[in-house]
Structure formats: C-alpha cells, structure tokens
Structure 1
Amino acid sequence: MAMDHPDGPAEHSGRYDLRHHGDTDATEGLVDFAVNVIGDGPPPWLRDRLAASLENLGRYPQAAHDRHAREVTGARHGRPPEQVLPLAGSAEGFALLPSLRPRLAAVVHPGFTEPEAALRDAGVDVVRVLTEPARGHALDPAAVPAAADLVVIGNPTNPTGVLHPAAALRELARPGRVLLVDEAFADAIPGEPESLAADADLPGLLVFRSLTKTWALAGLRAGYALGAPDLLERLASPRPPWPVSTPALEAIVACSEPDALSAADQRARELAAHRVTQAAALAEIEGVAVQRGLAPYLLLHLPDGTGYEVRRLLRTAGFAVRRGDTFPGLGPDHVRVAVRPPETARRLAEALDEALRALAVPA
C-alpha cells in the first residue's frame, strides 16, 4: 500500500500503512512531537565514548568487543553473555523474526507496526489481537489464539502508552511458543517496572531493548535481544558478518554501565513529571481525550471527524504530531504526541486548542 502524505486523508478499508513511522510526520522546521526520541542527541559523555570508538573504524568490529557488549549487558539484566544478542537497533531484530519460522504470529495492536510488516513481507500468517479502548487497552491474555507460536507485544505499548502487568505477559508464555516483548521504552519509566528482561527461565521469551529513545541514538542503530542461547541462534541465523558496528557496540556497553543506568533513571523521572503536566494540559482542551499511560508519549482522541484538519492546522502552526490511523485498531481522529519539556508542551496545547476552536467544534 502506498504511503499517504503526512497530511493526507485517512483511509479506512481495514488496511493500514504498517511502514509509516513518526519520522515521516516530523518534517524539517516543525517542532517535533511525532518522534519519541528524547532530546536532540546523546549527552556529552556518550558522545565522547562514541568519538573515541572511531579510532577503530579501520578494523572490522572485533569479536572481543562483541563479547564485552554481551557481558556488560548480560550483567545489567542478571543474565550470562550467551543470552544477549547485540542488534543494529530493534528494527534489525524485527526483520529477523521470520528466521524463527513461525506458523502463526499473533501481534497485539494497537502497537508498533514494524514486526507485523516484517512477518507479512516474509509470507507469515499474522492475526491481529486488538486491545479494547473501553478497557484502557489492557491486555487480555485469553484473546491470543492458542495456535499462535509467535506472540508479539510492546511493553509499554506504542502508541497507547499502556504498561501491561508482567504477570499478564507471563500468561502468554508456553512451550513451543516464542513470546516477543518489545521493551523499547522500558528504560523511560522509573525503575523499569513490569519488565521481563531478567526472566531468563520463562520458556520461549525473547525481549528486545533499544538505545534509540532514552539516549537519542536513532542515527546509530543500537540495541539488543535477550533470550535463551538456542533462540538467539535461530534469530541470528540469516545475519551477515559484522552486523553491528563498532560505535554501536560501544554504545551498548556505555549505556549498560552503572552510571548510565543511574542517569537513565533520573531522566525517566523527569519525563514522568513532564508527562503528568502535559497530559493534564491536553485533557483540559474541550473534546480531547487522553489515554492513560506511563510511556514518554500520549495517545489522544480528537473530536470525531477532526483528525485530518487538526493535523493540517498544527503543521501550519509549526507542530508535527504522529498520525494514529496507521496503527491497527485506531482511526483518523487519533494522534500520538511525544512528551516534551513543559514550555514546549504548553505551546502544543495552545496550538491544539486554537485548531479545534478554528474548526468550530460543537460542545
């Protein structure tokens, strides 16, 4: 399906543009609420670590550096290095999912669409499990088909921001099934509650972690997978040699060390405070419903029939938001907005209020 223009009218034929991402909405010159990366780039200490790694660019990524990344990351999650697989970002992990040869994949939606896109492109049968707005998009483990031998869910889920209880996720695990939990935003929540990253004994568990969001490394592509050694071996089977660059391996090490974990938790606490302030300001706008969540982004439901025009007016006012109608289970009047510092968030709330007033939305 062709990608719609960011401002284009939504199509609702039951088909969704699974390859649409927030960077498409966040065009040059706009205040970016569409992409969930925190900040404009990595902090100075991390920049210095990455810059120092450039001295080794004349050599292929070293096995010793890969091993060190596995050791440090494993220690961070209480796992041996054999249960860690460095990735060129979580997106590489999603692209590798077909190598697990699932017969039926169940993908929980609304959720990040890249896993389903990769599976469908490989000819894998996919069933969508839709969470219900009336239940706050909470997970119902019983809704997942028993026949699914691969289950994919985000925690917290993008774009709803819902953090599912770890106990509910564990109900999805069973022998003969791979349970993939995408924890791309787990470190953006203070204390990383409900994470399964340390659940080494849960059968078939695969956890993806990303460094993109908290450390503003979208251009570097760095992350990792956690799972049983045989599962990681199957996942990695089609990879070419040296799939993860030397700077990315250095980032994985640097962001898993104790000082970085402390800094990430502090940043998560600041984000949590910003989220509360931003959610309250947006909820005060007549006709705007804010989905309750704990992630560094908020899902909004706008008054019926206003989504396209609101996005257009916000772009005219200089703001980019993430359209919601490319997520299965959502519609044209949903938008996702990243959590930003209070002054920037206040400006968005004012622009959104003005846009809705300009449309003369009835009470």
Structure 2
Amino acid sequence: MPESTMNRVTTSHDDPLCDPLRYHGDRAADGAVLDFAVNVQADAPPDWLREVVRSGVDTLGSYPGHELYRDATAAVAAHHGVTPEQVLLLNGAAEGFSLLARLRPAWPVIIHPGFTEPEACLVDAGIDVDRVVLRAPFDLDRAIDALGFGEVHEEADLVVIGNPTNPTGRLYGVDELSRLAEPWRYLVIDEAFLDVADHTHATSMISRIGQIPGLIVLRSLTKTWSLAGLRCGYLISDAETVTRLSRGRAHWPLGTLQLRAIQAVMEQGTPHLPTITADIARNRESMVTALETAGFTVHPSAAPYLLVQPPGGADRAERTRRALADRGIAVRRCDTFPGLDSGFWRLAVREPAQVAALLQAIADIGA
C-alpha cells in the first residue's frame, strides 16, 4: 500500500448525522456502560476544578465582564510564555477550526488520518480541500514531499495536522512540523492531546510562535480536565492572525464558567500533569501488552488512545464492534477517518480492569 494518497474534497453531506467527517466518538459512547470511544480522562473534573466552576454559579446573573476575559487570556499567555495579544480563547478548541474559513484560504490541505472537523468546517464554508492521506507508520516525510513537489497545489496556503494525531497517536517533533511551513502559508497544529502526551515540552509548536509566520496552535481543556460539557479551549498565533480570526465573533463568545475554568487550569493545573501523564503511560503500556497478547495489531502511540487492528480482518472487526455496542461497550469506529477502514478501531487508554472486560467480551462474542 502506498505511504500516502492525495485527493480533493469539494462537497459535504447536508445532514451532519450522515457525514462521516462529522462523526465523533460521543456518538458511539451514548448510553454505553464501558466507553473506549471517547478520550476524556474521567467522568467529571478533579475536585479543585469542580470547586472553581461551582463557585462561579452565584455570579451567573451577570454578563462575563472584560476582567474575566482579560484574566483568563493573561493566564494562558503566562502559562505558555507568549503575550495576551497572541491568545484567542475559544468555545472549545473545535471552534477554532470553524474560524479558519475567515482566513480565506484558496488551497487548504488537511493531513489525514486526523481529526475531521477542520476539513468539515472548510468544506461547509464552500472551500475546496486537498487531502494528503498518510499510511502506517504515518511518517511525515510523505506529506512534506507532497507539498514540496506539487502533488497537491504548489501554493497550498493553509495546512492542518494534529500532534499527536487523532486517531493514530503519532507524535512529531517541532523540527519535522516546521518543515511544513512556508512564508505564504498558515500552518495549523492541533495539540488537543499534547499536554498528556510523551515528551510534551520538547514537542509543542508554541515554542515556534513568532518564528514561523502564520503558525496557529490549538489547545483543548476537554480531554485532560474532563470539561467536554463546558467547551474550553484556546489558540495561540501572531497578534495579526488572532485579530483576523476574532473579528466578527459573537459578543460574549465564552461564558463565565468557561473563563473561570480556563484561568484555573492555567494557574493550578500544571502540578497535576506529571501524575496524569504517568498514569496514562502506565495504563497505555499495560493495555498494549494485553491487546497484542489477544492478537491485535497496535500502532505506536504517544497519546491517551491507541489505533488498533483487531484480528481477523475488517469484516470481523465490524461485526465485533456492533456486537460490543449491543452489550453497551463502545469503541471508536475508524472508517470515518480518511485513509482508514472498518478494520481499525481507536481505543481510549483505560485501566487494566476495563481492558480485561473488553477483551473478555470480545472472546465471548467470538465473531
């Protein structure tokens, strides 16, 4: 199989429920008793963060004032060593992808397999999209070649890639990613899972803000801090790009509880990250061993999820996935990711007892 393929996408489905680009793990997890489909770390935020959110409830009679935006923005800037003018708070990191159309790219490129929301947002805005689809082991050299030698439009003016990528878990270095940059190009890096990935500080492209023109880095608080229902995220770029992306947004784009949560995570969350990251790494290592023993192909991952291929091929994997769903066990199908098919699943990293329950259910099904 070739290492990558290229194709251009010009239309999206009218019904988002039928559009594979709009399919996300929460669809599979709805009503599940054992959830491997959603990559959120816990059912609720940690106690200290819950208290911050709870304390804001008494102020909900007032609009979120300038001070809240200022303080939350300043907290993000201080955490990452940038200026407040380089920060844009988001109603979830996914909002950042919906803002990309404001840059009016003529030749955007999405590197897949990856989070599908950026492509869906651009296509819905009437913008044609080129794809570069990587094959295992998902090396970036092929994408760099495609951009450099005209296999996609030679003047590609916006490139989007995840780091680590979702669903592959592949983590790229800043020097690798920097090779995707050009003076005329916006380079968008989705770092939604980077805060708990291996080698975090050495890998964040935020360190290149100000050095690479048009660099945009998106971050999410959803996964690590269990805030999926509150929608908290931000992006970091140069001040001019931040202004361009923010122009025309609705007034009060974030609410009081979101702003309080963002500020609290920036100011209080860092000491907790080593423990969270170590727990994920330990569970991931144990999970890889258990899955491989059961005959799964497990692709290397630095993320809190694994891209796997169950034994027996695509048809058997799909039958098993459906049978698991009937038992209340959710795994993330991967045929909605460009470049993958129903022979792949994405599994959130879970504790050994949950992994054992999954494997026992698969054995009982015996598809």
TM-score by length of 2: 0.90
1:70 aligns with 2:73: yes
Alpha-carbon offset, residue 4 of structure 1:
7.2
Alignment partner of 1:155 out of 163, 166, 170: 163
1:324 aligns with 2:328: no
Q: 8 Å contact 1:109–1:130 — kept in the other structure?
A: yes
CA distance in 1, matches of 2:17, 2:47: 37
Alignment partner of 1:291 out of 291, 296, 299: 299
CA distance in 1, matches of 2:350, 2:306: 11
Name the structure 2 match of 1:222: 232
Q: 8 Å contact 2:32–2:325 — kept in the other structure?
A: no
1:280 aligns with 2:303: no
Alpha-carbon offset, residue 114 of structure 1:
0.4
CA distance in 2, matches of 1:19, 1:127: 18
Alpha-carbon offset, residue 316 of structure 1:
3.0
CA distance in 1, matches of 2:78, 2:343: 44
CA distance in 1, matches of 2:309, 2:32: 25
Q: 8 Å contact 1:191–1:265 — kept in the other structure?
A: no
CA distance in 1, matches of 2:117, 2:32: 26
Q: What are the ranges of 5 or more consecutive residues in structure 2 without an aligned counterpart?
A: 1-12
Q: Secondary structure of 1:344's match?
A: helix
Alignment partner of 2:265 out of 224, 233, 255: 255
Q: Equivalent residues in 2 for 1:332-351 (5 A)?
A: 332-351=342-361
Distance 1:4 1:331, change over 3 A: farther
CA distance in 1, matches of 2:357, 2:233: 33
What is the count of residue pairs matched by the alignment? Answer: 343
- Spell out, residue by residue over 1:59-109, the C-alpha distance to the aligned partner (whole angstroms, 9 max, x if none): 211111111111111111110111111100011111111011100110010
CA distance in 1, matches of 2:254, 2:276: 26
Alpha-carbon offset, residue 190 of structure 1:
4.6
Q: Secondary structure of 1:255's match?
A: helix
Name the structure 2 match of 1:97: 100
Letter in 1 for 2:264: A
CA distance in 2, matches of 1:4, 1:300: 25
Letter in 1 for 2:185: R
Letter in 2 for 1:238: G
CA distance in 1, matches of 2:36, 2:262: 26
Q: Secondary structure of 2:218's match?
A: strand
Alpha-carbon offset, residue 27 of structure 1:
2.1
TM-score by length of 1: 0.91
Name the structure 1 match of 2:203: 194
1:267 aligns with 2:276: yes
Letter in 2 for 1:282: L
Q: Secondary structure of 2:111's match?
A: strand
Distance 1:4 1:227, change over 3 A: closer
Distance 1:29 1:106, change over 3 A: closer
Q: What are the ranges of 5 or more consecutive residues in structure 1 without an aligned counterpart?
A: 6-15
Name the structure 1 match of 2:187: 179
CA distance in 2, matches of 1:290, 1:191: 20
CA distance in 2, matches of 1:128, 1:218: 28
- Spell out, residue by residue over 1:110-166, the C-alpha distance to the aligned partner (whole angstroms, 9 max, x if none): 000000000000111201111121xx1121222234421000000000000100121
Alpha-carbon offset, residue 317 of structure 1:
3.2
* The 10-residue stretch of structure 1 (105-114 or 22-31) with the greater mean CA deviation from structure 2: 22-31
* The 10-residue stretch of structure 1 (185-194 or 152-161) with the greater mean CA deviation from structure 2: 185-194
- Spell out, residue by residue over 1:8-31, the C-alpha distance to the aligned partner (whole angstroms, 9 max, x if none): xxxxxxxx6100000000121431
Name the structure 2 match of 1:9: none
* The 10-residue stretch of structure 1 (311-320 or 159-168) with the greater mean CA deviation from structure 2: 311-320
Q: Secondary structure of 1:262's match?
A: helix
Letter in 2 for 1:97: L
Alpha-carbon offset, residue 3 of structure 1:
6.4
Q: Equivalent residues in 2 for 1:31-110 (5 A)?
A: 31-110=34-113
Percent of aligned positions that are identical: 44
CA distance in 2, matches of 1:241, 1:154: 29
1:300 aligns with 2:297: no
